[in-house]
Amino acid sequence: MYKKTDKSDNRVTINTLAKLKQQGEKFTCLTAYDASFAILLDNAGVDVVLVGDSLGMVIQGHDTTVPVTMEHMIYHASCVASNLEHALLMVDMPFMSYTNIEQALKNAARLMQEGGAQLVKLEGGRTQLDIVRALADRGVPVCAHLGLQPQSVHKTGGYHVQGRTRDAAQTMIKDASLLEEAGADILLLECVPDLLAQEITSNVTIPVIGIGAGGNTDAQVLVLQDILGITPGRPPKFSKNFMAGKGSVREAIDAYIQAVKNGRFPAEEHIFS
Ligand code: KIV
Protein backbone atom coordinates (compact mmCIF):
# COMPACT_ATOMS: atom_id res chain seq x y z
CA MET A 1 0.00 0.00 0.00
CA TYR A 2 1.19 3.50 -0.83
CA LYS A 3 2.13 5.94 1.90
CA LYS A 4 -0.35 8.75 2.27
CA THR A 5 0.81 12.35 2.63
CA ASP A 6 -0.81 14.80 5.01
CA LYS A 7 -3.00 17.10 2.96
CA SER A 8 -5.87 17.29 5.44
CA ASP A 9 -5.67 21.09 5.68
CA ASN A 10 -5.97 21.30 1.90
CA ARG A 11 -9.30 19.57 1.32
CA VAL A 12 -11.24 20.44 -1.84
CA THR A 13 -14.85 21.50 -1.20
CA ILE A 14 -17.63 22.66 -3.51
CA ASN A 15 -16.58 26.21 -2.55
CA THR A 16 -13.06 25.51 -3.86
CA LEU A 17 -14.55 24.43 -7.19
CA ALA A 18 -16.83 27.48 -7.37
CA LYS A 19 -13.82 29.72 -6.72
CA LEU A 20 -11.78 27.98 -9.43
CA LYS A 21 -14.59 28.63 -11.92
CA GLN A 22 -14.73 32.31 -10.93
CA GLN A 23 -10.96 32.57 -11.39
CA GLY A 24 -11.11 30.81 -14.76
CA GLU A 25 -8.86 27.98 -13.51
CA LYS A 26 -9.57 24.47 -14.80
CA PHE A 27 -9.92 21.62 -12.33
CA THR A 28 -9.61 17.87 -12.71
CA CYS A 29 -11.71 14.81 -11.98
CA LEU A 30 -10.96 11.11 -12.49
CA THR A 31 -12.80 7.95 -11.52
CA ALA A 32 -11.56 5.52 -8.86
CA TYR A 33 -13.23 2.48 -7.36
CA ASP A 34 -10.60 1.23 -4.90
CA ALA A 35 -8.11 2.34 -2.25
CA SER A 36 -4.88 2.00 -4.26
CA PHE A 37 -6.00 4.23 -7.11
CA ALA A 38 -7.75 6.62 -4.70
CA ILE A 39 -4.43 7.23 -2.91
CA LEU A 40 -2.57 7.67 -6.19
CA LEU A 41 -5.09 10.24 -7.45
CA ASP A 42 -5.20 12.03 -4.12
CA ASN A 43 -1.42 12.28 -3.86
CA ALA A 44 -1.21 13.52 -7.44
CA GLY A 45 -3.61 16.37 -6.59
CA VAL A 46 -6.71 15.44 -8.58
CA ASP A 47 -9.45 17.80 -7.36
CA VAL A 48 -12.49 15.51 -7.57
CA VAL A 49 -12.54 11.71 -7.40
CA LEU A 50 -15.66 10.13 -8.88
CA VAL A 51 -16.86 6.72 -7.81
CA GLY A 52 -18.89 6.39 -10.98
CA ASP A 53 -21.42 3.71 -11.79
CA SER A 54 -19.08 3.08 -14.74
CA LEU A 55 -17.76 0.51 -12.27
CA GLY A 56 -20.49 -1.68 -13.76
CA MET A 57 -18.36 -1.88 -16.91
CA VAL A 58 -14.85 -1.26 -15.59
CA ILE A 59 -14.95 -3.48 -12.48
CA GLN A 60 -17.89 -5.81 -13.02
CA GLY A 61 -17.53 -6.37 -16.77
CA HIS A 62 -21.12 -5.53 -17.74
CA ASP A 63 -22.07 -3.75 -20.98
CA THR A 64 -23.94 -0.96 -19.16
CA THR A 65 -24.24 0.75 -15.78
CA VAL A 66 -27.77 -0.59 -15.30
CA PRO A 67 -26.89 -3.63 -13.12
CA VAL A 68 -25.08 -1.49 -10.53
CA THR A 69 -26.85 -1.37 -7.15
CA MET A 70 -26.72 0.84 -4.06
CA GLU A 71 -24.76 -1.86 -2.24
CA HIS A 72 -22.11 -1.86 -4.99
CA MET A 73 -21.83 1.94 -4.90
CA ILE A 74 -21.55 2.04 -1.11
CA TYR A 75 -18.91 -0.69 -1.08
CA HIS A 76 -16.67 1.02 -3.66
CA ALA A 77 -17.29 4.52 -2.29
CA SER A 78 -16.23 3.43 1.19
CA CYS A 79 -13.05 1.82 -0.22
CA VAL A 80 -12.18 5.18 -1.78
CA ALA A 81 -13.49 7.58 0.89
CA SER A 82 -11.28 6.47 3.74
CA ASN A 83 -8.21 7.02 1.55
CA LEU A 84 -8.77 10.58 0.38
CA GLU A 85 -7.23 13.49 2.25
CA HIS A 86 -7.37 16.16 -0.46
CA ALA A 87 -9.86 15.40 -3.23
CA LEU A 88 -13.62 15.89 -3.03
CA LEU A 89 -15.47 12.58 -3.29
CA MET A 90 -18.37 12.47 -5.75
CA VAL A 91 -20.45 9.28 -5.92
CA ASP A 92 -23.05 8.24 -8.49
CA MET A 93 -26.59 7.43 -7.48
CA PRO A 94 -27.19 4.18 -9.40
CA PHE A 95 -30.03 3.32 -11.79
CA MET A 96 -33.49 3.55 -10.17
CA SER A 97 -32.15 4.73 -6.80
CA TYR A 98 -33.79 8.20 -7.12
CA THR A 99 -37.21 7.64 -8.67
CA ASN A 100 -39.01 9.76 -6.03
CA ILE A 101 -38.03 12.23 -3.34
CA GLU A 102 -38.27 9.84 -0.41
CA GLN A 103 -36.14 7.19 -2.11
CA ALA A 104 -33.60 9.76 -3.31
CA LEU A 105 -33.18 11.25 0.17
CA LYS A 106 -32.76 7.83 1.74
CA ASN A 107 -30.22 6.66 -0.84
CA ALA A 108 -28.25 9.92 -0.91
CA ALA A 109 -28.01 9.71 2.89
CA ARG A 110 -26.67 6.15 2.59
CA LEU A 111 -24.05 7.21 0.03
CA MET A 112 -22.91 9.96 2.40
CA GLN A 113 -23.14 8.10 5.72
CA GLU A 114 -22.04 4.60 4.66
CA GLY A 115 -20.07 5.46 1.51
CA GLY A 116 -18.45 8.74 2.59
CA ALA A 117 -19.73 10.71 -0.44
CA GLN A 118 -19.37 14.48 -0.25
CA LEU A 119 -21.36 15.11 -3.42
CA VAL A 120 -23.88 12.83 -5.14
CA LYS A 121 -24.37 12.70 -8.91
CA LEU A 122 -27.63 11.88 -10.65
CA GLU A 123 -28.65 11.74 -14.29
CA GLY A 124 -31.45 13.76 -15.85
CA GLY A 125 -32.70 17.22 -16.64
CA ARG A 126 -36.01 18.91 -15.83
CA THR A 127 -37.61 15.65 -14.65
CA GLN A 128 -35.21 15.66 -11.69
CA LEU A 129 -35.86 19.21 -10.47
CA ASP A 130 -37.97 18.22 -7.45
CA ILE A 131 -35.42 15.63 -6.42
CA VAL A 132 -32.47 18.00 -6.80
CA ARG A 133 -34.37 20.65 -4.80
CA ALA A 134 -35.26 18.19 -2.03
CA LEU A 135 -31.65 17.01 -1.74
CA ALA A 136 -30.22 20.53 -1.85
CA ASP A 137 -32.71 21.81 0.74
CA ARG A 138 -31.55 19.11 3.13
CA GLY A 139 -27.86 19.83 2.75
CA VAL A 140 -26.91 17.23 0.14
CA PRO A 141 -24.51 18.62 -2.50
CA VAL A 142 -25.65 17.53 -5.97
CA CYS A 143 -24.02 17.16 -9.38
CA ALA A 144 -26.61 16.98 -12.17
CA HIS A 145 -25.53 14.89 -15.18
CA LEU A 146 -26.82 16.09 -18.59
CA GLY A 147 -26.13 15.04 -22.17
CA LEU A 148 -25.51 11.35 -22.66
CA GLN A 149 -27.10 9.58 -19.69
CA PRO A 150 -25.77 6.01 -19.62
CA GLN A 151 -28.45 4.77 -17.20
CA SER A 152 -31.02 5.40 -19.98
CA VAL A 153 -29.07 3.53 -22.66
CA HIS A 154 -31.78 0.90 -23.18
CA LYS A 155 -34.36 3.67 -23.68
CA THR A 156 -32.21 5.83 -25.97
CA GLY A 157 -30.92 2.86 -27.95
CA GLY A 158 -27.18 3.43 -27.55
CA TYR A 159 -24.36 5.75 -26.60
CA HIS A 160 -24.78 8.79 -28.87
CA VAL A 161 -23.70 12.42 -28.82
CA GLN A 162 -26.58 14.51 -27.40
CA GLY A 163 -27.83 18.03 -28.16
CA ARG A 164 -27.05 18.08 -31.87
CA THR A 165 -30.44 19.36 -33.01
CA ARG A 166 -31.51 22.92 -32.30
CA ASP A 167 -34.42 21.77 -30.09
CA ALA A 168 -32.30 19.33 -28.11
CA ALA A 169 -29.64 21.99 -27.58
CA GLN A 170 -32.23 24.54 -26.38
CA THR A 171 -33.72 21.98 -24.01
CA MET A 172 -30.30 21.21 -22.53
CA ILE A 173 -29.47 24.90 -22.08
CA LYS A 174 -32.78 25.43 -20.28
CA ASP A 175 -32.37 22.27 -18.16
CA ALA A 176 -28.94 23.42 -17.03
CA SER A 177 -30.37 26.71 -15.76
CA LEU A 178 -33.34 25.01 -14.10
CA LEU A 179 -31.04 22.55 -12.33
CA GLU A 180 -28.88 25.40 -11.06
CA GLU A 181 -32.00 27.21 -9.78
CA ALA A 182 -33.15 24.00 -8.09
CA GLY A 183 -29.90 23.89 -6.11
CA ALA A 184 -27.45 21.75 -8.09
CA ASP A 185 -23.87 22.63 -7.12
CA ILE A 186 -22.16 21.16 -10.19
CA LEU A 187 -23.20 20.13 -13.70
CA LEU A 188 -21.64 17.30 -15.65
CA LEU A 189 -22.01 17.25 -19.44
CA GLU A 190 -21.32 13.98 -21.25
CA CYS A 191 -20.90 13.72 -25.03
CA VAL A 192 -22.26 17.06 -26.21
CA PRO A 193 -20.98 19.31 -28.98
CA ASP A 194 -18.20 21.67 -28.02
CA LEU A 195 -20.15 24.90 -28.71
CA LEU A 196 -23.20 23.77 -26.77
CA ALA A 197 -21.04 22.86 -23.75
CA GLN A 198 -19.35 26.25 -24.02
CA GLU A 199 -22.71 28.04 -24.03
CA ILE A 200 -24.02 26.09 -21.03
CA THR A 201 -20.77 26.68 -19.12
CA SER A 202 -21.00 30.43 -19.58
CA ASN A 203 -24.78 30.53 -18.86
CA VAL A 204 -24.59 28.96 -15.40
CA THR A 205 -22.63 30.19 -12.40
CA ILE A 206 -21.98 26.69 -11.02
CA PRO A 207 -18.92 24.72 -12.23
CA VAL A 208 -19.38 22.46 -15.26
CA ILE A 209 -17.38 19.25 -15.65
CA GLY A 210 -17.15 17.82 -19.15
CA ILE A 211 -16.49 14.41 -20.68
CA GLY A 212 -16.61 14.46 -24.44
CA ALA A 213 -17.87 18.03 -24.12
CA GLY A 214 -14.95 19.97 -25.56
CA GLY A 215 -12.34 22.17 -23.98
CA ASN A 216 -14.46 25.05 -22.70
CA THR A 217 -16.04 23.47 -19.64
CA ASP A 218 -14.62 24.39 -16.22
CA ALA A 219 -13.22 20.91 -15.65
CA GLN A 220 -12.66 17.54 -17.29
CA VAL A 221 -13.43 14.03 -16.11
CA LEU A 222 -12.30 10.74 -17.62
CA VAL A 223 -12.44 7.11 -16.58
CA LEU A 224 -9.05 6.29 -15.04
CA GLN A 225 -8.70 2.98 -16.87
CA ASP A 226 -9.19 4.84 -20.19
CA ILE A 227 -6.31 7.25 -19.52
CA LEU A 228 -4.11 4.32 -18.47
CA GLY A 229 -4.85 2.54 -21.76
CA ILE A 230 -6.13 -0.61 -20.07
CA THR A 231 -9.78 -0.47 -21.16
CA PRO A 232 -10.44 -3.42 -23.48
CA GLY A 233 -11.59 -2.65 -27.02
CA ARG A 234 -11.57 0.63 -28.89
CA PRO A 235 -11.09 3.64 -26.57
CA PRO A 236 -13.77 6.35 -26.66
CA LYS A 237 -13.02 9.24 -29.07
CA PHE A 238 -13.10 11.75 -26.20
CA SER A 239 -10.46 9.91 -24.14
CA LYS A 240 -6.68 9.83 -24.38
CA ASN A 241 -4.11 7.26 -23.31
CA PHE A 242 -1.82 9.29 -21.03
CA MET A 243 0.28 6.20 -20.25
CA ALA A 244 1.86 6.33 -23.72
CA GLY A 245 5.56 7.09 -23.28
CA LYS A 246 5.27 7.29 -19.48
CA GLY A 247 7.18 5.17 -16.97
CA SER A 248 4.53 4.93 -14.27
CA VAL A 249 0.84 5.33 -13.52
CA ARG A 250 1.64 8.39 -11.39
CA GLU A 251 3.41 10.04 -14.36
CA ALA A 252 0.34 9.40 -16.54
CA ILE A 253 -1.98 10.95 -13.94
CA ASP A 254 0.38 13.95 -13.59
CA ALA A 255 0.34 14.37 -17.38
CA TYR A 256 -3.48 14.31 -17.43
CA ILE A 257 -3.66 16.95 -14.68
CA GLN A 258 -1.17 19.20 -16.47
CA ALA A 259 -2.88 18.80 -19.84
CA VAL A 260 -6.30 19.72 -18.40
CA LYS A 261 -4.97 22.68 -16.44
CA ASN A 262 -2.99 24.02 -19.42
CA GLY A 263 -5.94 23.51 -21.78
CA ARG A 264 -3.99 21.02 -23.94
CA PHE A 265 -6.59 18.32 -23.27
CA PRO A 266 -9.04 17.82 -24.86
CA ALA A 267 -7.50 18.44 -28.29
CA GLU A 268 -9.36 18.74 -31.59
CA GLU A 269 -9.49 14.96 -32.11
CA HIS A 270 -11.31 14.41 -28.77
CA ILE A 271 -14.09 16.92 -29.44
CA PHE A 272 -17.59 16.53 -30.92
CA SER A 273 -19.05 19.27 -33.11
O1 KIV B 1 -19.92 6.66 -14.13
C2 KIV B 1 -19.02 7.42 -14.49
O3 KIV B 1 -17.82 7.12 -14.40
C4 KIV B 1 -19.40 8.70 -15.04
C5 KIV B 1 -18.38 9.43 -15.84
C6 KIV B 1 -18.13 8.73 -17.10
C7 KIV B 1 -18.72 10.85 -16.01
O8 KIV B 1 -20.51 9.14 -14.87
Phi and psi (nearest 5°) for 46? -60, 140
Distance 124 CA to ligand 1 centre (A): 14
pTM of the model: 0.96
Q: Does the CB atom of residue 187 touch ligand 1 within 6 A?
A: no
Alpha carbon 183 to its chain centroid, in Å, reads 17
Range of the domain at 145: 14-270
Other CB atoms within a 10 A radius of the CB of residue 155 amount to: 7
What pLDDT is attached to residue 50? 98
Local structure of 233: helix, strand or coil: coil
* Cβ(14)–Cβ(186) below 8 Å: yes
7 falls within a domain? no
- CB contact at 8 A, 71 and 111: no
The pLDDT of residue 4: 53
pLDDT value for 10: 86
Give me the pLDDT at residue 6, please.
54
In a domain, 214, yes or no: yes
Which residues does the chain have with pLDDT short of 70? 1-9
Domain count along the chain:
1
Alpha carbon of 52 to ligand 1 centroid (Å) = 5
Ligand 1 geometric centre to CA of 223 (Å): 7
Task: Give the tens place of pLDDT for each residue, 200-210.
Answer: 999 999 999 99
- Name the closest-CA residue to atom 4, ligand 1: 52
* CATH code assigned at 180: 3.20.20.60
In a domain, 8, yes or no: no
